[in-house]
Amino acid sequence: MTEQPDVDVDAEIGGFIRRFNESVGGINDDSNGYHETITRTCVAGVRLYLAEMPEADLLARVNGLLASPMGRRDWALRFYSRERLFSVAARRDFVEPDLAPLP
């Protein structure tokens, strides 16, 4: 997001992840592989972190993100119930949060 500003992350990340999954033998279907809502929620978390983070090199930003609340595996569950987040609809397309709005 910061190192290649010419990449439209919102438009392209799904294709990047799907192609990577397939290149290593993975499957993108209703129960495996790419998950649109989790990905878009993570992107929102990265943007939030970057907005709060003072300028630093890439390694410091990545390490800081991973140590922050936005880098936690369960961060999306602050906004989504498990049922909604792990639904087939949320895997296929972005669904709005049901617990709290995304930042």
Q: What is the pLDDT of residues 5-17, one digit of tens each?
A: 899 999 999 999 9
Total-model pTM: 0.90
Question: Residue 2: which pLDDT band, with cuts at 50, 70 and 90?
Answer: confident
Average pLDDT, the chain: 95
Task: Tell the residue number behind the tokens 């087939």, with chain if given.
Answer: 88
Residue ranges with strand state E in the chain: none
Q: Is the dihedral of CA 80, 84, 89, 95 positive or negative?
A: negative
